[in-house]
Structure 1
Amino acid sequence: MRNLNFTLVLALSILFISCDADNELKSDFEMAKEKWQSYQFEHYTVQENLSCFCSGLLEWTLKVTNNKKDTVYFENSKLYKGQTYQMVLTEAKTIEDAFEFIENFDKDNVASFNVIYDEKYGYPKSIAIDYQKELADDEITYIYSNFIPLSK
Structure 2
Amino acid sequence: MSVMERLDQDMKQAMKDRAALKLSVIRMVKAALKNEEINKGRLLSEDEVLTILTRELKQRRESLHEFEKAGRVELASKTREEIDVLSAYLPAQLSEDEIRDIVREGIAATNASSKKEMGKVMGAIMPKVKGRADGNLVQKIVSEELPS
**TM exceeds 0.5?**
no
Give the structure with the higher percent strand: 1
Task: Give the TM-score range, shorter chain.
Answer: under 0.3
Q: Which has a greater percent of helix?
A: 2
TM-score norm. by structure 1 comes to 0.26
